[in-house]
Amino acid sequence: MQTHRIRILVADDHTLLRSLVADLIAMESDMEVVGQAADGLETLDLARQLRPDVVLLDLYMPKLSGLDCLSGLRAAVPEAVVIVLSHSTAQEDVLMAFREGAQGYLLKTMDPDHLIRRIRDGAQGEIPIAAEVARCILGRLESAPGEDRRQQGSRQGTDNPLTPREVEIVSLIAGGATNREISTVLMLSENTVKNHIKHILDKLHVQNRTQVAAWATRSGMMG
């Protein structure tokens, strides 16, 4: 039986890289590239016309940057999953991309097979995020001023008493990191990460990672 193919719009002003990504996707039987855009305005136009399932979006493009595209994409094609594909791991780029509506953040330096897997994850409702980007989010928490960190703990409330390590793991879950990526970032075994997550679910009275991410957003942890 023929399954739905993931329809992808690739937006990047570098022609060679855009073509390489498109060729890589074309090799997959469950994916197809329905369009390619070289600037932000063309991205919005093609998204409206083609209604893709996934938009792979470069941050730095002419005419309209990827960051400036994000709100337009959310309004024009709210059903599409927008995944940033960038060289940048700058903290301000990562955080701004998620604040503006990105649903994933991957790096152009990642392994091709890993890129394909994470695109599939995004199309299936996961939050694809590169390990280096997860480290960036964690670095934001570690560098937060003491008063901000105390306020963050206050927002979490006494009914949800997370340890500092659990706060780090919740932040990475909210950023879309997998157990393996969390174990790499925090230098823990995957079994240890799984045990921490079980305790987190119990403490927050939630059932899955999606609800953990929603709690992190409500608590202001990702603000």
23 shares its domain with 75? yes
Residue 143: which pLDDT band, with cuts at 50, 70 and 90? Answer: low
Considering the domain architecture, whether residues 193 and 89 belong to the same structural domain is answered as: no
- Do residues 107 and 130 lie in contact, with contact meaning Cβ atoms separated by under 8 Å? yes
- Give the amino acid at 180: R
pLDDT in tens, 27-64: 999 999 999 999 999 999 999 999 999 999 999 999 99
Domain boundary, last residue among 61, 95, 128: 128
- 76 and 182 co-located in one domain: no
pLDDT value at 97 more than 90: no
Residue at a domain's end among 128, 146, 181: 128
Start-end of H helices in 91-206:
91-99, 112-123, 131-143, 146-156, 164-174, 179-186, 190-204
Burial of 191 (0-12, 13-18, 19+ CB in 10 A): exposed
- The structure's pTM equals 0.67
- Going by C-alpha positions, the residue among 210, 118, 119 that lies closest to residue 170 is 210
In a shared domain, residues 15 and 96: yes
Same domain, 113 and 167: no
Q: What is the mean pLDDT of the chain?
A: 83
Report the CATH number at residue 145. Answer: 3.40.50.2300
Q: Concatenated DSSP letters for 46-102?
A: HHHHH--SEEEE-S--SSS-HHHHHHHHHHH-TTSEEEEEES---HHHHHHHHHTT-
Q: Are residues 114 and 99 in the same domain?
A: yes
- Statement to judge: residues 153 and 209 lie in one domain: yes
Residues 6+ apart with CB under 8 A from 61: 11, 12, 13, 38, 39, 40, 43, 69
Q: Is the pLDDT of residue 156 over 80?
A: no
Residues 157 and 52 in one domain: no
Tell which of 69, 95, 128 closes a domain. 128
Residue at 42 is within a domain: yes
Q: Is residue 59 part of a domain?
A: yes
Q: For residue 92, which amino acid is it?
A: E
* Residue 21: domain span: 6-128
Residue 47 and residue 121 in one domain: yes
The domain total for the chain is 2
Count of CB atoms within 10 A of residue 109's CB? 11
In a domain, 1, yes or no: no
Q: Give yes or no: residues 99 and 140 share one domain.
A: no
Q: Token digits for 77? A: 């094609």
CA–CA gap between residue 84 and residue 175 (Å, rounded): 13
195 C-beta neighbours (distance < 10 Å), count: 12
Q: Is residue 211 one of the residues assigned to a domain?
A: yes
Provide the pLDDT confidence category of residue 99 given band limits of 50, 70 and 90: confident
Nearest CA among 118, 119, 13, 121 for reference residue 59: 13
